[in-house]
Structure 1
Amino acid sequence: MMQIKFFRAIWGMEEPTLQANLLKIKEAGFDGVEMMVPLDTKSQEELRELLKEFRLDLIASQWAASGRTYTEYLRSFEEHLYTNALLKPLFSNSQTGKDYYSPDQTAQLIQRAAEIAQETGVPVLHETHRGKFTFHTRSTEYFLHKFPDLRLAADFSHWCNVCESFLDDQPEIMDLAISRVDHIHARVGHTQSTQVSDPRAPEWQEALQHHLNWWDAIVNTHRQKGTQVFTICPEFGPYPYMPEKPYSREPLADLWEINLYMKDLLQKRYNQV
């Protein structure tokens, strides 16, 4: 039977210290944390010890690569992937490249990620995300065909937003993408935003159902091929992802409760007790 592990992103956590945030994640029943590995050695060691203390798995995110030029970005990208690998996470989940990079530049980034994964033994997944090479269905399809070993982290809320649809008219592309997904970001988006205000609300049930259908297909694909462990991260985030009331800046819903709701919903749906 395939085990599904649930992770909580450090993004949006509000406790005053990393230790307090990780303790809250552990006590809520999550199996691990998804976060970037710090570049400085002292912070890396702190994270290493806390993960060991709380017996939490790590998914290492890569979202911070930067540079004024492509060459500078590539060097930063490599640095973050190598740094992530130091803590031996399950994998790196990378927001890779820029939506305006040329196909050749993007291909170089994908190839370097594959080389670093081979060198370090830490797989690299590429998250479907606005502003990155995976920002759109068609652009992602091109690279999925070009690189048969390319694997994805699915956050299809971004595609709903970019395409202004629930992607019903793109079944072939969605089937291809789903066949390459190894990790789910379980956030619900809609045609005008990457995050509904509250997935429990009746007005968002259509959006929720579309995402559940995609997630079901991904989980079933891995069950059929005999995957032993699969990972899901409920990833509803703070403002500006979470809408706020004007003037008071009060969030429209409780972020922590929403992510717990999504974990519990998917645990029950996939028979994880």
Structure 2
Amino acid sequence: MPIKFYAPLWGNTLSFKEFCKNVAEAGYDGVEMDLPLEASAKREVLDTLKEYDLELIAQYYQSFEPEPAANLEAYRRYLEHLLKAAPVAVNCQTGKDFFTFEENAPHFSLARRLSEASGIPITHETHRGKCLYAAPVAASYFEKIPDLRICLDISHWCNVHESLLEDQKEAVNLALSRTDHIHSRVGFAEGPQVNDPRAPEWSDALQAHLGWWDRVVHRHRKAGTVLRITTEFGPFPYMPSLAYTQMPAGNQWEINVYMLHLLKNRYQDTSLG
């Protein structure tokens, strides 16, 4: 089964063309990003991705509206906008953590209809503040929506549950069985992102995440299906920084490229995962 790797646009400060050049040279298969609403800007983005032979995972994170009906309508408009670009997949930070299941459920029904009509897979991210923000909450959604597929960003759950999820195994196992896309950021009990996964003090957190990701890789290998991984270490304020100066404690690009090479090398060995 192919594993494809994507760079996040999040945190980039270069021109988009220079960013894509760096992404291609680093060995990524594509970019995960949102898309501008203005037609010419959107076309420029898509043309640049094509120039560098990079795939697009289109991203929806703009779940801003606090009223369920307005949130659903904005969700519909933006998903239709993303799907028109024919990405390889769409990843969504769906709904709100304070909406009830009945208020969030129409988002999943809408995403399913749009995915079926377009033939483009849509995953829903395990993200703080959104409907899949916590392990037991997500488990209840999985039980009620059998075809719900996710982007696993389990770093958020480490933060939400203030642990490496040792006491959440049943919910974690269910989440791993629903994962088609991974955000390979490493979280810990007090935050969704360690300052540098190469540092020895984060070895336990890194090994926990690698163990979860190995199991997802194993399932996709067995099924012969595509797994997509975005190396999504982010900038300030996800990246810890010094007070006043906001100088980052680590280099976001270097860390993401490190994760790219770590995972590529790890999963070249078919005995792992």
TM-score (norm 2): 0.96
- Given residue 58 of structure 2, which amino acid in structure 1 is its aligned partner? A
The answer to whether the aligner puts 1:266 opposite 2:249 as a matched pair is no
- Given residue 49 of structure 2, which amino acid in structure 1 is its aligned partner? L
Distance in 2, Cα, partners of 1:48 & 1:32: 12
Aligned length in residues: 269
The answer to whether the aligner puts 1:56 opposite 2:41 as a matched pair is no
- Higher deviation after alignment, 44-53 or 235-244: 44-53
The answer to whether the aligner puts 1:27 opposite 2:25 as a matched pair is yes
C-alpha distance 68-230 of structure 1, shift in aligned 2 (>3 A): closer
The answer to whether the aligner puts 1:6 opposite 2:5 as a matched pair is yes
> In the TM superposition, what is the alpha-carbon distance from 1:65 to its structure 2 partner?
3.5
C-alpha distance 110-204 of structure 1, shift in aligned 2 (>3 A): same
Distance in 1, Cα, partners of 2:65 & 2:143: 28
Match of 1:126 in 2: 124
Match of 2:68 in 1: 70
- Secondary structure of 1:58's partner? strand
> In the TM superposition, what is the alpha-carbon distance from 1:222 to its structure 2 partner?
0.5
Distance in 2, Cα, partners of 1:38 & 1:249: 28
Distance in 2, Cα, partners of 1:27 & 1:182: 25
- Secondary structure of 2:132's partner? coil
> Of 257, 265, 268, which residue of structure 1 is paired with 2:254?
257
Asked whether the 8 Å contact 1:34–1:61 carries over to 2, the reply is yes
> In the TM superposition, what is the alpha-carbon distance from 1:170 to its structure 2 partner?
1.6
Asked whether the 8 Å contact 2:35–2:58 carries over to 1, the reply is yes
- Higher deviation after alignment, 19-28 or 137-146: 19-28
Asked whether the 8 Å contact 2:236–2:246 carries over to 1, the reply is no
- Secondary structure of 1:218's partner? helix
> Of 225, 228, 231, which residue of structure 2 is paired with 1:231?
228
**For residues 207-236 of structure 1, what are the alpha-carbon distances to aligned partners after superposition, in whole Å with 9 as ceiling and x for unaligned?**
000000000000001101111x32111100
> In the TM superposition, what is the alpha-carbon distance from 1:68 to its structure 2 partner?
4.5
Alignment gaps of 5+ in structure 1: none
Distance in 2, Cα, partners of 1:235 & 1:134: 18
- Secondary structure of 1:79's partner? helix
> In the TM superposition, what is the alpha-carbon distance from 1:204 to its structure 2 partner?
0.4
Distance in 2, Cα, partners of 1:40 & 1:83: 10
- Higher deviation after alignment, 65-74 or 179-188: 65-74
The answer to whether the aligner puts 1:162 opposite 2:143 as a matched pair is no
Asked whether the 8 Å contact 1:66–1:72 carries over to 2, the reply is no
- Given residue 87 of structure 2, which amino acid in structure 1 is its aligned partner? P
Distance in 2, Cα, partners of 1:97 & 1:67: 9
> In the TM superposition, what is the alpha-carbon distance from 1:66 to its structure 2 partner?
2.8
- Secondary structure of 1:241's partner? coil
Distance in 2, Cα, partners of 1:78 & 1:241: 28
- Secondary structure of 2:268's partner? coil
> In the TM superposition, what is the alpha-carbon distance from 1:67 to its structure 2 partner?
2.2
- Given residue 259 of structure 1, which amino acid in structure 2 is its aligned partner? N
> Of 174, 190, 207, which residue of structure 2 is paired with 1:192?
190
Distance in 1, Cα, partners of 2:195 & 2:265: 22
Asked whether the 8 Å contact 1:5–1:231 carries over to 2, the reply is yes
- Given residue 3 of structure 1, which amino acid in structure 2 is its aligned partner? P
- Secondary structure of 1:270's partner? helix
Asked whether the 8 Å contact 1:66–1:77 carries over to 2, the reply is no
- Given residue 164 of structure 2, which amino acid in structure 1 is its aligned partner? F
Asked whether the 8 Å contact 1:65–1:80 carries over to 2, the reply is no
Asked whether the 8 Å contact 2:68–2:104 carries over to 1, the reply is no
**For residues 155-199 of structure 1, what are the alpha-carbon distances to aligned partners after superposition, in whole Å with 9 as ceiling and x for unaligned?**
000000001111111211111110000001000000010000000
**1:177-216 alignment, distance < 5 Å:** 177-216=175-214
**For residues 96-127 of structure 1, what are the alpha-carbon distances to aligned partners after superposition, in whole Å with 9 as ceiling and x for unaligned?**
00000011011111111111111222221000
- Secondary structure of 2:234's partner? coil
Alignment gaps of 5+ in structure 2: none
- Find runs of 4+ consecutive structure 1 residues off by over 3 angstroms: none
**1:111-122 alignment, distance < 5 Å:** 111-122=109-120
- Secondary structure of 2:208's partner? helix
> In the TM superposition, what is the alpha-carbon distance from 1:69 to its structure 2 partner?
2.2
Match of 1:83 in 2: 81
